[in-house]
Amino acid sequence: MIEIAHLHKRFGKFAALQDISLSIMCGKVTGIIGPNGSGKTTLIKSILGLVHPTSGTLSVNGFLLNGDAAYRRWIGYMPQLARFPQDLKGWEILKMIKRLRGEQPSLEKELIELFQLRPELDKRMRALSGGNRQKLSIVISCMYDPDLLIFDEPTAGLDPVSATRLKDFIQSLKQKGKTVIMASHIMSDIEELADDVILLLDGRIRFTGSIRDLKLRTGQPFLERAIVEILEENAS
């Protein structure tokens, strides 16, 4: 479980996150949604320890984040931009991650087959398409079958077949009781995969709860319209 209490993050004068307090439950898919610049990526990066909070506390599975990197063993992260050293091959990058983790991944082969990545692993990164780099990023994030998976815009840049396979894979993670956090602008993906949503606007939480509750509260049958209504409420 992830516990966040009174989290603030400022970049100079800009308040990226303001007084964020929430709990993300185990075994659920939680979607983080909001307009550009609302603080989605900053919130994800705070959980990953990439961004240092200005104030407030975060804990993952009871482990208070204080600069120690050990808790990241439980986490798989797929970033928004999949960029790798240009002159290395896919298998070399996988090898380096395996050496850093110091153990053999349980899902590596399965994921490589699922995303048909094998012929691409012998190519240098500069020769790989954006979609294939994204697939490599999926393999890196999921191959250790971690308890917590964090995806930032996971289907952006993927072809429809791969996007569907990824969504099916996320569904299977949910069935296995994994905790998944995904930030996305694609509301159909959120509606299809997420149990709960966290709606951010200007660094503040505007809604947190299940998609059903969000629709009930706004009286809107579709997630996208429900979100627009809440955003307009806050703008007025």
Size of the site for another protein (CB under 8 A): 32
Q: Of the candidates 6, 11, 21, 210, which one interacts with another protein according to CB under 8 A? A: 11
Distance CA 169, CA 152 (A): 15
In our burial notation (b when 16+ CB lie closer than 10 A, e otherwise), range 145-180 reads bbbbbbbbbbbbbbeeebbebbbebbeebbeeebbb
Q: Which is nearer to another protein, 88 or 228 (CB)?
A: 88
Q: Which structure tokens are listed for 102?
A: 């110091």
List of residues 6+ apart from 18 with CB closer than 8 A: 8, 202, 203, 204
Q: Of the candidates 26, 64, 81, 127, which one interacts with another protein according to CB under 8 A? A: 81
Report if residue 86 touches another protein, rule: CB under 8 A. Answer: yes
Radius of gyration of the chain (CA): 18
Q: Which stretch binds another protein (CB under 8 A): 92-100, 154-162, 168-176, 209-217?
A: 92-100
Q: What residues between 26 and 55 interact with another protein by CB under 8 A?
A: 45, 48-52
**N-to-C CA span, the chain:** 35
Q: How far is the CB of 37 from another protein (least distance, A)?
A: 15
Q: How far is the CB of 68 from another protein (least distance, A)?
A: 8
φ/ψ (deg, to 5) at 74: -85, -5
Q: Which residues bind another protein (CB under 8 A)?
A: 11, 45, 48-52, 67, 69-73, 75, 77, 79, 81-88, 92, 96-97, 99-101, 137, 140
